[in-house]
Structure 1
Amino acid sequence: MLVEQVRSLHSYKAISTRRCSKYGWENTATAVVDAQNSGFPDKSFSHVTLNFAMHIIPDPQAVLRDTMRIPKPGGTLAFSVWHKDSQGWGPDLRSCFKALPFDAPMPDRVPMKFQIRSLPHIIPVYTAEDYLESYAMMKSWMVYTYWSEESKEKARGMLDGHILKHLREKYNGQGWDLSSTIVLATCQKPL
């Protein structure tokens, strides 16, 4: 399990690095750290973002303390979370899990902790592979949080293939849109 979690962390860093390149963000670095205690020096960044993670972090107050410590004076902090009523990636992952030939639970409501300002958000999914890569973290979170050891063992080596096959059949090999509501919070550190 630890090896898979480490592999996932490297995957998240690779995804972030690709996004920086794709959107032309210059002088940008990515890192995978403990958001509750990043270890970054005080006042070391002009911008700090945390995207779609605050709702699953055990101590969000620790995250806020740490993220307010590391921007430079006048720096910007932004984070986003899914709205508590958002559907997004959930229905597709739920239908993939239900189609498995063993117990693969997922909660009816995914835990959400914040609601500041909500906005509608459409995310295009181009292929089943795109979905699997984009939501690998959510898949891992559901599996490791809600599945029994027996179900995890049964899924070993076959879950990704199952998800790809299920979504290709569900969407006739076409892309689809995920409709979500996001919560976006931004602030600027005082000078």
Structure 2
Amino acid sequence: MDDWEQKLVDISRNIMGPLNARVLRQMGLGQTTTAPIAFLENACQAAPAVQELFKTVNRNVLSESLVLFGDKEKKMVDLFEKRVECEGWTGAKGMLVDTSTSGLEDSSLTHVVAGLTLHLAPSPDDVVNDAIRILKPGGVFGCTTPHALHTDGWMTDLKAAFETFPFHAPLSDKERSQITEFGRWYDELWVEEYLKSKGLTDVQVGIEHGAVEVKNAKHWIEVFGPAVAWIVGSEWDEKLKEEHPLSEVHQLLEAFLEKKYGGEGWNFKSAIIVGTGTVCK
């Protein structure tokens, strides 16, 4: 695997694993699952839901099941195929697919997971509508989104670091838990009402509290670098970005974190909303 691929796999195993284990439990999947399923994980980096599925559901059941991973980026599907081969996920298949227009047949699947996707998608309502369309009656939809509290830990460090930069580094106080303009995916009460409004039954919404282990400053950059890139790209003007490229920003951040934590690792609290519901057609 390339370096970036291994980093995503490490995040999937070490950070995303417990969260997706809870999603599957809430969807009724685990060691007691005996009937074949038709499962889709939609656009979630290195496929942590499929990863946990192969840990918890009997392999004999999965050998008779349909297990799919979809993403619109070929490099992510290629990474999934590498994991299938390396980790023995026999029968699992990757496919190029748009989250909001999958093209899959109506009422063809039993479980669909949209992991850490809806708060980023341009049209999350379309993503959910398509998931409901392709689920069979009685099929289960599951989703995860960052709670408002989730950003506290890394944003606290980012704000403090920006204040030490040798130039003015803009950072607004707006909500960081979502990019999309639709909905309030950081609010568990809103997520619950939204899922019910889509006609889902047996809706369950809770918060998975945990801790994210950061090995060192460089690891922090690997995990939160994409979020920093988005903030810089959306809030800094072109002149500032040209004068201080992202590589410099990362170097300054790493130096700040090295000094703050003495070159050691640290933990910060995480909070992710987990929502599930059953399709009634």
- Give the TM-score normalised by the residue count of structure 1: 0.73
After superposition, give the CA deviation of every residue in 1:59-89 in whole Å (9 maximum; x if it has no partner).
3212221332344555443222222244132
- Cα 1:174–1:23 change in 2 (3 A) is farther
Distance 1:143 1:190 in 2: 43
- Report the equivalent of 1:168: 258
Higher helix share: 2
Q: Aligned AA for 1:120? A: H
Q: Residues 35 and 66 of structure 1 are in contact (CA less than 8 Å); yes or no, is this contact kept in structure 2?
A: no
Aligned length: 181
Q: Residues 55 and 111 of structure 1 are in contact (CA less than 8 Å); yes or no, is this contact kept in structure 2?
A: no
- Report the equivalent of 2:233: 144
- Cα 1:126–1:137 change in 2 (3 A) is same
- Report the equivalent of 1:4: none
Unaligned runs of 5+ in 1: 1-10
- Counterparts of 1:1-191 in structure 2 under 5 Å? 15=8, 16-17=45-46, 25=54, 29=69, 31-32=71-72, 37-42=100-105, 47-71=111-135, 74-86=138-150, 87-112=152-177, 113-114=184-185, 115-116=187-188, 117-153=206-242, 154-190=244-280
Structure number, greater radius of gyration = 2
Which stretch shows the higher mean deviation, 152-161 or 16-25? 16-25
Task: Report deviation, 1:171.
Answer: 0.9
After superposition, give the CA deviation of every residue in 1:90-137 in whole Å (9 maximum; x if it has no partner).
112222333222332222242441222334221111122222112222
Q: Residues 20 and 28 of structure 1 are in contact (CA less than 8 Å); yes or no, is this contact kept in structure 2?
A: no
What is the percent sequence identity of the aligned residues? 24
Q: Aligned AA for 2:255? A: K
After superposition, give the CA deviation of every residue in 1:10-68 in whole Å (9 maximum; x if it has no partner).
x5897233858976848664634586525342356554333334234333212221332
Q: Residues 88 and 179 of structure 1 are in contact (CA less than 8 Å); yes or no, is this contact kept in structure 2?
A: yes
After superposition, give the CA deviation of every residue in 1:127-163 in whole Å (9 maximum; x if it has no partner).
2222211222211221122121122221243222222
| RMSD value, Cα | 3.3
Does the residue aligned with 2:175 lie in a helix, a strand or coil?
coil
Work out which structure has the larger RCO, using CA pairs closer than 8 Å and 6 or more positions apart in sequence. Answer: 1
- Cα 1:31–1:55 change in 2 (3 A) is closer
Q: Residues 80 and 184 of structure 1 are in contact (CA less than 8 Å); yes or no, is this contact kept in structure 2?
A: yes
Unaligned runs of 5+ in 2: 9-44, 56-66, 74-96, 178-183, 189-205
